[in-house]
Structure 1
């Protein structure tokens, strides 16, 4: 990071450049020139500042099939590591990816809280706890900015659910804001993040892009944030209120309320030129930090970048460290690869891995290792047998594999001449923001996916057309579907990208007989930067009952059954909230049937957030893998076979029943969503003390916050509180090396004072040890752990507090007390 001398020189350069810019140029700098970039100003050496979506990969300005990105595990997985250094590794990998693509700012991390597991974007956030969220977020930001790439922490603030997300006004107490929802932002700003994204939603009567109190007063004033505040895409809807409310950049170019309107507002005196200058200073500071301004050295010299990072190895390591072994009866895991002769792998998601959630977090990875592929490769001497059992996917998967060779995407002009052509692995094409650089958008008329389909089985196959615009599907030269799927006035972001509509066509095919398939999409004028097109394929399958029977039979004949269940993109995605925590389709029935057939049933839960498990007490083991990224199957094999320990601990509480949740509603009433639970979200609600009015001792969660098993055992030998820290000694009492996450919680010993939970997380640390070895860790107890927000300030609540060294919030191992 920059030294104080470098910062002083940087600010002098800003003032010098600012003096040369006229008002028109300064205003032009504040709005995107297109979907992802701010305009360049060559006369002062300023390049176009380029942004890209994250948080698990770097899409770049072209979301293109020939421009794949690494796909790391989801943010919930990252938080499940409980290790800021693992999060820092993720940031470094993505920083390397950004630099290779010319990206200056990554729109990540997302540090909104898990107020309710019904939140549709739950998988893209870290945790229900603000401290854990902050620590993982700081690691991510540090790793990313060490690579010279700016992080843009989002969505400031209280953007914790998706229903009516563009317009909802969140009503939340100042105490809950300060003690929970603002904490990750406050800590990450203090750690030196370079930009912040203002959310769509309102808070207590003002939208966040106009929120003078929270943006100017708190973020820029009290916290001293010197970076740029950028609107979420299309979140800025007014001119004067956003300009005076603290917003610095309105994105993207289309629908932005600034430009000529802001220029007129300044000339009319409604917005001062001093306010414009402050915004330009922040943009120049940001551009200088990321190396987009030639007048100053970047904040991080290129010589200090971590280069040559093995992204596949990093993705695999992060995944294994995130997996949470929630249940492991009688040491069912790890499996002995030498003793297993036949393994049943069951579930549609075992073959079609859910590696990421839906919405803007989606990327096109270089490759995907499915659970089936990972286990098959890791068990060369065993027979691995696969059966679908149950398929929860409401839409057909994109055509891929040996039956479809090759698959090509082609952009054509109105005359049918090819403008661009690329071979792709799966029949799924998306462009968002820009078409390929070689294509003049004005000339592009159609995009098509074409392939030769050689079926492996005879029967009725299903093909599906999915896209935004006019679609034509031809099979063997015959048109089998043609329709205008969306109207020209529809918003592509909220329709095609978040809630696509699939159109299925049955096609009779003969095994081994090739047929040409072409899906054509007519691009709407003015929508060249928004192309989404998928050719889906489904092989002939038996009815649902027969599939379940087959899975049970395969499981009965195997030494061990591995069932992969999970959610789909239609369940967990940006743009909408969940309506249930139940697994989609007949997956619960699949697990029950398999468990009845084979007592050695291991259930792998492939979901980004909590799901219900009515079968949990009947299976040998449950492994939570979140959305594990592109190395899903390889990491799964490592953990199931004991080559790596399941390193994760729960970053959020998993309920046994939906009704047990402290917070259920994500649906506004008359445009407002009231956080009536105040500070009692997540485990704070589950463990609310007697003054909270939420006594829940009759409703234990299925798996509590912080829970996770390993392949060894630990003894907590001592806990002392000295010099503002908890000093904990633990010993590995098992037969193999392992890792433990030592969690320290504090709680008041009486019910006097403000409403508080029974305990709350004050700190944590990861330890590793060989069999028989002991490790001592010192975990600071910050002053804030004993404070509440009261009457406009932080107040220490005097009294005696329990300090607990724990394996989870519900599993204190050793306790001490401290007087405050």
Structure 2
């Protein structure tokens, strides 16, 4: 294989604006939406070079850095390139595999989906979605879920688990992959990210925070996906500097501070620069301002360039080939040649290798790894090791059972993430005389729970969305099965109609005396490469699927005790029926995973007193959310332009600003008991004044044994002689010729780096630190985490049953451009007995009370009056006080 495009294919802005003022100009600009956009109107992203190198003194990374240094110092150039480049789609057992270093005993790393379990394997668990987990408002459960997923991944031989998700954040309720993440609130998502990452990495697997950044819809995320329009470039998310920091970057800060080992850049563009070669995003924000010490990997086929992506901060190419199953790579041999000819500086390849190995050693004691014991490409025991090539027939699936007792945790999370939206006395159930269960969503998929690839259908009960963020079910307990088992135990008469369309039979059943009708409905979504019922990843609307709204209205007109259970990937419109007096209870059960029916029965019967809180707002109309999916491209010149003109005002922040009535507000959730809030207290701390970071980095270090950098005539970079055997379409670091012109197919080969690289891209000298960055402290300036106030309040159970309660702390920052309130803290107080009082406590940091100043390029606590609120939801704020 010849090296391809080694020196060219920049595809990156070479605009010479580099001063702080010009950074502020371009990143701080908002644009209005137009159906047609001319090129000169387009938002753009400024260059930021050189790519920052690792900090050997970074907190919590020193030991990993030392181990990585010792390892990388032994590597040749070819071995470093092999670490950075995937071997190609379907070339080995996982969805992504790096090259190996056999000389030193390191097998290729296995990178694998998904954020709720192991995709395409067997004998693994199917966990609740991130969104459902967020609804627990429980840090402990978030951590335990991450740890259990990490243990299962490690048991399969996976080294990097591709999750958790903070992009999409959830800007638009109909966006297809919101369920993979946590919540449109950045604080709730940030906590979910941090706790999940800690859990995964404590289990010995590198976590991957994704997708950086602004990947908020499926439509037009890739030019190659067919949405009925001929787009030539991926969508550009145009985000101003303030919005970037206060909303979309916020949870990634928490991920970096939690020590995440890897970050995945997105398919989409940010301000018209592709995320995986956006130097401002990767170099300036992630690696410089946030001090990220791990490695950046591309989403699968999200790399659009070779050299320019390397100098812009990309560290790992996934899955390695430019397009699936081509065997052609931007890196591999091209990266080898680019380092040899000086277009990629030597420090950069060394830093790539260092970041990968430091992330590895952060979670793993040594280079000895258990073998990968499954194949994503087949469920059969035997098959090709190299699936794409059909090569290496052997045992590829060992059917290792990694589930342990995780079903108990899954059941607990799903129950505690179930939100009781309405209850006028229908719940809890207490040995009802007759239960009639209605709806497709109560029953099984007749072809089995895993019959649709990556869950790409909507047959039977909905327990996860579709796409790469899925896992195979080891089993799926349907609501029908679990409710019937409980009914049999209680002596309850039980019948079910497991379709939405048998209205005559349904009426006959639910209109009988003593009937408690439980109607199951859903709304699904997923990733854009699969279409389900005409939904191209993103939902076409916010209504229930399968005529669910009419089903509810019909059943509730026939039965005066109708309970509605919703499984969905986000909010749906309840306006036409939620207020019916015959609907005595409504529950949102999210995407609960394999224990779906059992967890729901736990809540319906009061074995678990519900305390889930909705992680998003339920608006009355689709239009009431203010923003929506772009279903038609708006730019005839190239990339569709999606302007985030609403700034930080999404979800409850937008509803509050517009003073719009909602059906159920963010953070809402009922219990089978009642709680009283009292005795709000504020303790002010004497924190040190905020100190902007000053100083410089060290010069870029280089590591390794290879003395031949800059000399391309050596045969040491060629393919090894026999008995080395090349695998078809496998990506290697080797050149096929000692003549660089022969080895490269780039028509521009021979140009010097200075002729086409942006200014500063090759610099390796000391670089100034940003004032908002943290010297040796990943996550930004350490002063941002100084505690300024401690807030406490008393929570008393006024009812007759034990239950959990979720007090929430909101802050009004007081400025004219600030939301009315923003979530800044929460806790799940467990098992508060009748008459018992428990104290809620939350700490407010400087970060919590700050705004981003685009001119100063730092966080600032403004002079406006600041008020704290403690309450049950974003609109039920019982207690308030002004901060002293």
The answer as to 2:634 corresponding to 1:669 is yes
Cα distance in 2 between the residues matched to 1:127 and 1:608: 11
The answer as to 2:520 corresponding to 1:564 is yes
The answer as to 2:647 corresponding to 1:678 is yes
Q: Out of 411, 434, 438, which is 1:346 matched to?
A: 438
The answer as to 2:607 corresponding to 1:551 is no
Residue by residue over 1:211-263, the C-alpha shift from the partner in whole angstroms, topping out at 9 and shown as x without a partner, is: 11121122112222111111111111210111111010001133241112222
Q: Out of 84, 94, 112, which is 1:52 matched to?
A: 112
Residue by residue over 1:256-315, the C-alpha shift from the partner in whole angstroms, topping out at 9 and shown as x without a partner, is: 411122222223322112111100111221232343843899xxxxxxxxx985111111
The answer as to 2:469 corresponding to 1:374 is no
Contact 2:210 2:263 in 1 (8 A): yes
Residues 226 and 169 from structure 1, CA distance in 2 versus in 1: closer, same or farther, beyond 3 angstroms?
A: same
Q: Out of 116, 119, 135, which is 2:191 matched to?
A: 135
Contact 1:572 1:608 in 2 (8 A): no
The answer as to 2:573 corresponding to 1:612 is yes
Residues 375 and 257 from structure 1, CA distance in 2 versus in 1: closer, same or farther, beyond 3 angstroms?
A: same
Count, aligned residues: 635
Structure 1: which 5+ runs fail to align?
A: 298-306, 391-543, 689-695
Q: Out of 701, 721, 744, which is 2:682 matched to?
A: 721
User: What's the Cα RMSD here?
Assistant: 2.2
Look up the SS of the partner of 2:320 in the other structure.
coil
- The aligned runs of 1:351-750 (5 Å cut-off) are 351=443, 352-380=460-488, 381-390=491-500, 544=501, 547-557=502-512, 558-568=514-524, 576-613=537-574, 614-618=576-580, 619-667=583-631, 668-670=633-635, 671-688=640-657, 696-697=658-659, 699-723=660-684, 724-748=789-813
Residues 805 and 156 from structure 1, CA distance in 2 versus in 1: closer, same or farther, beyond 3 angstroms?
A: same
Structure 2: which 5+ runs fail to align?
A: 1-55, 223-233, 323-328, 371-401, 444-459, 526-530, 685-788
Cα distance in 2 between the residues matched to 1:362 and 1:5: 34
Contact 1:49 1:292 in 2 (8 A): no
Residue by residue over 1:314-361, the C-alpha shift from the partner in whole angstroms, topping out at 9 and shown as x without a partner, is: 1100100100000001x2110102xx1210000011002111001001
Give the equivalent residue in structure 2 for 1:516: none
Look up the SS of the partner of 2:211 in the other structure.
strand
Give the equivalent residue in structure 2 for 1:294: 367
The answer as to 2:422 corresponding to 1:327 is yes
Give the equivalent residue in structure 2 for 1:117: 173
Residues 789 and 572 from structure 1, CA distance in 2 versus in 1: closer, same or farther, beyond 3 angstroms?
A: farther
Look up the SS of the partner of 2:592 in the other structure.
coil
Residue by residue over 1:568-606, the C-alpha shift from the partner in whole angstroms, topping out at 9 and shown as x without a partner, is: 455699963222101123211111111011111000001
Cα distance in 1 between the residues matched to 2:59 and 2:883: 43
Contact 1:368 1:630 in 2 (8 A): yes
Higher strand share: 1
Look up the SS of the partner of 1:800 in the other structure.
coil
Look up the SS of the partner of 2:662 in the other structure.
coil
Contact 1:150 1:195 in 2 (8 A): yes
The answer as to 2:382 corresponding to 1:279 is no
Q: Out of 324, 338, 341, which is 1:268 matched to?
A: 341
Cα distance in 2 between the residues matched to 1:657 and 1:8: 52
Cα distance in 1 between the residues matched to 2:57 and 2:799: 48
Cα distance in 2 between the residues matched to 1:17 and 1:762: 42
Residues 572 and 21 from structure 1, CA distance in 2 versus in 1: closer, same or farther, beyond 3 angstroms?
A: farther
Cα distance in 1 between the residues matched to 2:675 and 2:344: 62
Give the equivalent residue in structure 2 for 1:222: 289
Contact 1:582 1:611 in 2 (8 A): yes
Displacement of 1:549 in angstroms is 1.9
Residue by residue over 1:66-97, the C-alpha shift from the partner in whole angstroms, topping out at 9 and shown as x without a partner, is: x2421111111011011111111111111121
Cα distance in 2 between the residues matched to 1:27 and 1:573: 42
Cα distance in 2 between the residues matched to 1:739 and 1:258: 53
Look up the SS of the partner of 1:812 in the other structure.
coil
Give the equivalent residue in structure 2 for 1:484: none
Give the equivalent residue in structure 2 for 1:771: 834
Residue by residue over 1:768-797, the C-alpha shift from the partner in whole angstroms, topping out at 9 and shown as x without a partner, is: 310000011211112222221112221111
Cα distance in 2 between the residues matched to 1:787 and 1:44: 48
Displacement of 1:763 in angstroms is 0.9
When normalised by structure 1's length, the TM-score is 0.75
Displacement of 1:817 in angstroms is 1.1
Displacement of 1:378 in angstroms is 1.3
Contact 2:238 2:641 in 1 (8 A): yes
The answer as to 2:192 corresponding to 1:97 is no
Cα distance in 2 between the residues matched to 1:3 and 1:221: 15
Give the equivalent residue in structure 1 for 2:851: 788
Cα distance in 2 between the residues matched to 1:308 and 1:198: 30
The structure showing larger relative contact order (alpha-carbon pairs under 8 Å, at least 6 residues apart) is 2
Displacement of 1:742 in angstroms is 0.4
